[in-house]
């Protein structure tokens, strides 16, 4: 399976928008997540625009995720690899102005009276997750799929709520409920999750990053791949999950199916 993964070539068009070469190298996910480990990287070709945009967000988003682990650290529930990753990555991240620790709700009560990592609205973490998904798709097909409209892909997390400021308890609850309902609906549709691929030959530590893929409406419709939607479920530090939902050409769907079902 892993031998089928495609890697960066400056002569290939951009993984995200299809802009013509020459291209620059983009890592998926960002290298700083794996500073403490002897693993390889998935790399893809990117135009200057999308490489620069993503690089500007990389530091802030990794710092957001790491700061978001502090509460779990307090209760001793992090893996040894995660602790190792934090120790290696944090000094190199610096102090991202886009990330802060603050109360999530305006009127905290009980367990909600907790400071969580907060991302400035200028950094779009959902867009970042879509770009990560696009890079992983490229690593299978080795080219840009013009049938995929990445700007229209849907991304969300059942553990993260975007907002310009702290929310009221009722508003915060409604937002979380909305995204957790989406998670439940995917399950109710009969989604079967298949393990994704990793860097080769030295894989990413799975408790630092791994992803899974589902094809909807359900596994029972795999005979007609042209009718399927695709969902990636990204998992970071065995704690945070992000879903990215999109559609693709029949050829891309079949390529992804062939690699995850082996």
Q: Which of 171, 177, 182 shows the shortest CA–CA distance to 216?
A: 182
Based on the structure, what is the number of domains in the chain?
A: 1
Residue 10: domain span? 2-260
pLDDT of residue 173: 60
Q: What is the pLDDT of residue 118?
A: 58
Q: pTM here?
A: 0.85
Q: Is 76 left (phi over 0), alpha (psi -120 to 50) or beta?
A: left
**Is the pLDDT assigned to residue 115 strictly greater than 60?**
no
In angstroms, rounded to a whole number, what is the distance separating the alpha carbons of residues 1 and 106?
Answer: 49
* pLDDT tens-place string over residues 53-112: 777 788 888 888 887 787 666 556 788 999 899 888 877 766 656 666 555 555 555 544
Q: Quick one: pLDDT at residue 168?
A: 57
Residue 196 — φ and ψ, nearest 5°? Answer: -80, -170
pLDDT value for 41: 96
């Amino acid at each position: 399976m892993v031998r089928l993964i495609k890697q960066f070539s400056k002569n290939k068009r951009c993984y995200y928008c299809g802009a013509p070469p020459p291209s620059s190298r983009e890592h998926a996910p960002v290298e700083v997540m794996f500073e403490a480990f002897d693993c390889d990287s998935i790399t893809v070709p990117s135009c200057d625009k999308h490489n620069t945009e993503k690089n500007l967000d990389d530091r802030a988003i990794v710092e957001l995720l790491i700061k978001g682990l502090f509460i779990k650290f307090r209760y001793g529930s992090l893996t040894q690899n995660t602790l190792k990753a934090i120790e290696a990555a944090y000094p190199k991240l610096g102090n991202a102005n886009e990330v802060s620790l603050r109360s999530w709700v305006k009127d905290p009560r009980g367990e909600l009276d907790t400071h969580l990592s907060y991302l400035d609205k200028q950094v779009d973490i959902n867009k970042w997750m879509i770009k990560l998904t696009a890079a992983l798709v490229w690593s299978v097909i080795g080219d840009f799929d013009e049938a995929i409209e990445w700007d229209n892909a849907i991304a969300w997390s059942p553990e993260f709520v975007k907002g310009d400021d702290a929310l009221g308890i009722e508003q915060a609850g409604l937002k979380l409920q909305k995204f957790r309902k989406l998670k439940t609906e995917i399950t109710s549709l009969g989604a079967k999750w298949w393990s994704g691929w990793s860097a080769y030959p030295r894989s990413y530590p799975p408790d630092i990053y791994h992803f899974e893929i589902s094809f909807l409406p359900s596994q029972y419709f795999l005979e007609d791949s042209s009718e399927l939607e695709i969902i990636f479920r990204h998992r970071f530090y065995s704690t945070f999950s992000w879903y990215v939902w999109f559609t693709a050409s029949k050829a891309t769907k079949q390529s992804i199916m062939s690699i995850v079902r082996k």
